[in-house]
Amino acid sequence: MQPLQKYVEQNKIKLTQDQIKELCNNKERNQDLIIKSQLPLVLNISNSFNSTTGANIEDLFSKALEATHNALINYDNKSNASFTTYAKISIINALKDYRLHNNNIIKQPSKNKELSNTKAYCFSSFNSEDNKAIEDTIEDTTNSIYSDEDKLEQLIKDNLKADYANIVILYFGINQDKSKVCIEIAEELNTTKQNINDKLLKALNKLKSNTHFKTLLKKLYNI
């Protein structure tokens, strides 16, 4: 067993989302319990980024853990989204920022592999709140990846307000040269990173219930 995995196994606390929500009523007092409940999530996302970027796993884990602490500070317990969902977004954004600022020493993955293991991971995680994997099957394999991207882009636009759809499209890099992190989107749209993060979270929460969206996502990103 790897050191970090051993650490997580020894320190994790299993809590339901309802229990976490209750603890979040007094975040300062219950911080340790809440953070420990997220340790498996922190390790899983860190491992995903490690496999696609080659970055040091301990550095990634440290950044992810820091992002979890920051997420707890900023989390609004009145939100419809669970803390785990909010933490996932925060961790992924933090590790994407870390990768962006350290790309001179981190190997660059291919576009499809990167998307499969970072952005698509985000959605596969959103769809596994109750530990259920995405089970949608893909029958039509005749369309190209580009036409599927067009379908995904249109679906997003049809289901979200224009500003929310634009953020998701930029974040995923759909029909774009590359994907963008929240801070890049914020700079492009002349707003704050927190505003982008909040809108992205709301958009993802709405999209995750769309079966057609999940089907296209699975086909494009091989999750």
| Domains of the chain, residue spans | 3-109, 145-221
Confidence of residue 9 (pLDDT cuts 50, 70, 90): very high
Higher pLDDT among residues 40 and 214, named by residue: 40
Give the C-alpha separation, 200 to 139, whole Å: 30
Give the mean pLDDT of 94-118. 55
Q: Are residues 35 and 25 in contact, defined by beta-carbon separation less than 8 angstroms?
A: no
Give the mean pLDDT of 150-173. 88
Give the mean pLDDT of 35-39. 94
Confidence of residue 208 (pLDDT cuts 50, 70, 90): confident
pLDDT, tens digit, 9 for 90 and up, residues 105-115: 334 344 444 44
Predicted pLDDT at 32: 92
pLDDT, tens digit, 9 for 90 and up, residues 55-84: 888 889 999 999 999 999 989 888 878 899
CATH class of 3-109: mainly alpha
Give the amino acid at 150: D
pLDDT, tens digit, 9 for 90 and up, residues 132-146: 333 333 333 333 434
Fold of 145-221: Arc Repressor Mutant, subunit A (1.10.10)
Count Cβ atoms below 10 Å from residue 44 Cβ, excluding itself.
15
Distance of CA 125 to the CA centre of its chain: 7
33-42, 50-59, 121-130: which is most confident = 33-42
Predicted pLDDT at 112: 43
Is the pLDDT confidence value at 93 over 70?
Answer: yes
Sequence-separated (6 or more) residues with CB below 8 Å from residue 136: 211, 214, 215, 218
Q: Fold match between 3-109 and 145-221?
A: no
What's the pTM? 0.52
